[in-house]
Structure 1
C-alpha cells in the first residue's frame, strides 16, 4: 500500500482556525504589544479582516497548524487572500506586516523616498530596541525575574529602557508624531510598547517615566485614537 502524498499530510492554519469569511484578511494574534500593532493597523486602514485568538496557555503557537504559517512560533501572523497579483500571501513578523499593509493600502507610510526610509528607520528602532528591551524589563520586573535576588539584570534593562525613552523624548520635541505632523506605522509600532511598559508592566516609576513629557504627550494622543482603542482589544 503506497503512502499518501506528503502535501496531503501537512497541517494548514485553517485546520485549527477555520475562516468564517475567507475573502477577508485573516489575523492570528493575541492582544500583546506586538499583536496589537497589526490589529491597530487594520483598524486604522479600514481593511476587512477576521481575527483569530491564540492561547499561550494551551500553547497554540507551538501547534503544527500555526507552525505551518509561522515556523518561528510567534504572533502575529496573517494570511491575505488578496495578496500581490491577487494571490494569497502569508506573513509573519509584525514589522514586515506593517510595511505590507501600509503599501497595500497606500496609508501610514510616506511615498516620498526619504520620508519612507526614515519611517522604516523608526520602525526598526522599535523592532531592534524598544520591543526587546522593554520586554526583558517586563520579565525581570513583573514576572519570574522577581525570583532572582541579583537585581543587576533588571537594572541593566531598566537603564537601557530609560535611554530609549530619552531618545524618543528628544526626537518628539516639537513633533506631533514620530514623523512630524503625520501619524505613521512608526507610531503604531512604538507606542503599544510604551503603553505596555507603563500600564501592564507597571515600570513607570522604575524607568522614571515622569521625566519624559514628550513621550507622555504622544502616548496620550495615541491612546485617544478610536482605531487604537479598538485595536488594543483585538483579538478579544
Structure 2
C-alpha cells in the first residue's frame, strides 16, 4: 500500500516583494530568517542602485531605478511591494508616502516602506522620545536626526559608527551594535531606533530588549513586520525577533 505523504505547502500563500539597495547584504538575510516563522509567506527581491560612499541622489530618490524595480517585482503579482530601505526618514516621511502612491499607481499593488512602518509602530506604542542608532557618518546622522525632529519626534540620544561606505555597514559586529544601543539607553527613550537596513541589528534586538527594558525598532525588521500586518499574516508569530511582533497582532 502506498504511503500518504502530507503536503508541506500551506493552503494559503502570501508573497511579499521587497526593493532593496544594491549594496545591501542584510535585507534578504533578515527577511528570509523572519519568514521561517511564517511558512505560508515568501519573500521576493529586486534591487535599485545604492552603493559606495556617495549617494548620487542625496535629496531625492532615483525614481527610475525605484519604479523599475517595482515593475519587475509586479510581474510576480505579489500581495505587497515594500521599499526595505531607510533613506525615506532622511528625506522626510511624505517622500515615502509619495513613493507608495507611485508604486501602487504603476502596479496596482499596495506598498509600504521601512519609514512608514516605523511611523505605524511608534504611533501604536505612543512613543515620542526616541534614540537613534546607526552606522552613518556625522553629517548624515545629523540630517537624519533633524528629519525625525521635523516629524515631531523628540530625539533624546543618538549614536553612530561613522562608517561611510554602504557595503561596510553590513560588516558591523553584534558587539558594536549592542554597545551603541547600551550607550543611548541612559537617556531612557520610549524606543530605540536601529536605523539602516544594511546594519545587521535584527539579530540582537530580542536579547537587548530583554536586557535594557526598552523597545527596539530595527528598520529592516520593521519593513517585514508591516508587510506581514498589511497582508493579514501577522498573528503573534515572530516574537523571537522582538516585541515589535506583538504590536498589531490580532492574537494579542
User: TM-score w.r.t. structure 1 length?
Assistant: 0.31
Query: In terms of Rg, which structure is larger?
Result: 1
Report 1 or 2 for greater relative contact order, CA contacts < 8 Å, sequence distance ≥ 6.
Answer: 1
More strand by share: 2
User: TM-score w.r.t. structure 2 length?
Assistant: 0.30
